[in-house]
Chains A and B, each alone.
Chain A
Amino acid sequence: MVDSRLQIEKPEIKERGPLWDVLRRLSKRTTAMMGLVIVVIFLLMALFAPLLAPHDPFEHSLAHKLASPTWDYPLGRDELGRCILSRIIYGARVSLLIGSIVISIGILIGVPIGVASAYFGGKVDFFVQRFVDTMLAFPGILLALLLIAMLGVGLHNVMIAVGISTIPIYARLARSSVLAIKARQYVEAARSIGSSHLRIILQHLIPNSLSPIIVQSTLHMATAILWAAGLGFLGLGVSPPTAEWGAMLNGGRLYIRVAYHVATFPGVMIFVTVLGFNLLGDGLRDALDPRLKT
């Protein structure tokens, strides 16, 4: 009797699936949950910007330029008299777009390169890895700056440039995951029953190497937003009327002596959003792979 009851209970737990399991582990960590809350708020801001923004983010009024915060304009107005709060809310859209595109470029190009490099090994691996080494030798934001120099300034080019500079990181990550999985028995089994290379890669290697890539992309969202804001701050990103946090900060920089709020609030937004993705990424790493716990 007891045995059969145990057997009935088991599948019930299993049905909840790995996602539920990750969420359960995530919920135990306060910092990770804080990160999740910040990220969710950020996503809601981006999705429902037109509903949330109190004013039109592009409506300017030179009579009210640099006006201090009031009840109507809680974060004040910028150098063209536009509502800073509304612009920050709309700015979340740009940041979300940049982050998503950058990560998609990194994953869609980097992961196949890394997987192929590890799976085929030998000369392919050698040359791919030397190329990855060289790309990684460009410190930080430098490769992105070089690419922007050549592609020209603008939002699209910022996304392409930052995206390309994350490719080597994903390639390296996917390679090391696959190298570990490649030697497992189920891969050998798949090969021995005559599965094609493509089938082994798509069905076994990629799904099983996903968790470090998920962690990395969450953390990368933070980096992508930070870099894109930095490039916007340098005046290399979006073209003027678009509300982008880095560009807003750059606009407010010149007026820091007379109107601190113009540069302060967009910066707070970048800071909090990046913090959110970092906290969530750290939490996910602990939840998905307890061995990596720092």
Chain B
Amino acid sequence: MIPVILGISLIIFTVVRVIPGDPAYILAGPHATQEQMDQIRAQLGLDKHPVTQYFIFLKHLFQGDLGTSTRTGLPVIREIMTRFPNTLVLALASILLATVFGVTIGIIAGVKQNSKFDYLSMLVALLGLSMPVFWLGLMLMLLFSIQLGWFPAVGADSLKHIVLPAITLGANSTAIIARMTRSSMLEVIRLDYIRTARAKGLAEKVVISRHALKNALIPVVTVIGLQTGTLLGGAVLTEIVFAWPGIGRLLVEAILSRDYPVVQGVVLLIATVFIFVNLIVDILYSYLDPRIRYH
């Protein structure tokens, strides 16, 4: 995990510095003199050797110092920390929604293979996979807040505000989780030990919930883990649609105003959370399937 995070920090560091556009030039503006630019470069530490710069960047990183926003002049860490809880809440609500609905639909579709429910839910899942998040958000807003007036369209002030953004953000993952659960269920349900369980006269409910589900869920857990990362990335679009004050919106604002320290900080944070979630998934694995420990 640590090497990957170091790798990510190196990629972000390199991308921010190597690609065209001198930060000193951007900060100083087109009319700055060479002297002013040199001064800014010295201030930012840009006159030092790139390797030294990277180590300084890392040292600051471990001290929780991500620099200052060029747009607001506030420390990046504070900018992020005021916004991050909002994104976290939204992402958690979405993944919860996606897991509950996705797994339930997937199980029913898998157990009742080739039934009407199976066809219909898999068709809807396929549609859900191809749906642009931002368009779905707008359509939900059009229907449920503008036409019906059930939920507020924008903002993050009450529990009611989270419903539409969470559905929007979770729709794609619900579809993916439902498809994965179904195919995993179909695979497991044909195995011998399920036949054994049925043969010894266990109720179908017990066979499904105790025997089939536990094994079928293992690949589903990976998908849920991967989806968490995608959700954090997808949150960017959802947050813009619903004016949700999270880090996704912060990132877009920072990109549009060329606020590099904030871009760097947000990307680093999202990538780290993603890696962390996947580490948790790996640990969950060995809990769900003790065989994995010995591999």
Alpha-carbon distance A267/B126, docked complex (angstroms):
16
Kindly provide the distance from the CB of B186 to the nearest chain A CB, expressed in whole angstroms. 9
The reply to whether B139 and A274 form a contact with Cβ atoms under 8 Å apart is: no
Alpha-carbon distance A72/B252, docked complex (angstroms):
38
Q: Does A196 belong to the interface (CB within 8 Å)?
A: no
Q: Does A141 belong to the interface (CB within 8 Å)?
A: yes
The reply to whether A257 and B146 form a contact with Cβ atoms under 8 Å apart is: yes
The reply to whether A271 and B19 form a contact with Cβ atoms under 8 Å apart is: no
Name which residue of chain B comes closest to A235, CB basis.
Answer: B256
Q: Does B129 belong to the interface (CB within 8 Å)?
A: yes
Size of the A side of the interface (Cβ < 8 Å), in residues, is 46
Q: Does B241 belong to the interface (CB within 8 Å)?
A: yes
Alpha-carbon distance A3/B251, docked complex (angstroms):
72
Name which residue of chain A comes closest to B262, CB basis.
Answer: A149
The reply to whether B270 and A142 form a contact with Cβ atoms under 8 Å apart is: yes
Name which residue of chain B comes closest to A138, CB basis.
Answer: B271
By a CB distance below 8 angstroms, the chain B residues around A249 are 132, 134-135, 138
Q: A134-B8, A138-B267 are in contact. Are A145 and B251 (CB under 8 A)?
A: yes
- Specify the main secondary structure of chain B where it touches its partner: helix
Q: Does A278 belong to the interface (CB within 8 Å)?
A: yes
Q: Which residues of B (213-237) have their CB < 8 Å from a CB of A?
A: 229-230, 232-234, 236-237
Q: A137-B8, A137-B271, A234-B240 are in contact. Are A152 and B21 (CB under 8 A)?
A: yes
Q: Does B141 belong to the interface (CB within 8 Å)?
A: yes
Q: Does A236 belong to the interface (CB within 8 Å)?
A: yes
Q: A226-B132, A234-B240, A271-B130 are in contact. Are A149 and B138 (CB under 8 A)?
A: no
Q: Does A230 belong to the interface (CB within 8 Å)?
A: yes
A140 partner, pick from B230, B256, B258, B275, beta carbons under 8 A: B230
Alpha-carbon distance A263/B179, docked complex (angstroms):
29
> Could you show 11 A-B contacts with beta carbons less than 8 Å apart?
A137-B4, A145-B236, A148-B255, A233-B240, A246-B132, A246-B134, A253-B138, A267-B134, A271-B135, A274-B130, A274-B131
Chain A residues close to B by CB (< 8 Å): 31, 130-131, 133-135, 137-142, 145-153, 222, 226, 229-230, 233-236, 246, 249, 253, 256-257, 260, 263-264, 267-268, 270-271, 274-275, 278-279, 294
Please give 9 more A-B residue pairs, beta carbons under 8 A apart, in addition to A134-B4, A234-B240: A135-B11, A138-B11, A150-B15, A234-B236, A236-B252, A236-B255, A249-B132, A270-B135, A271-B135
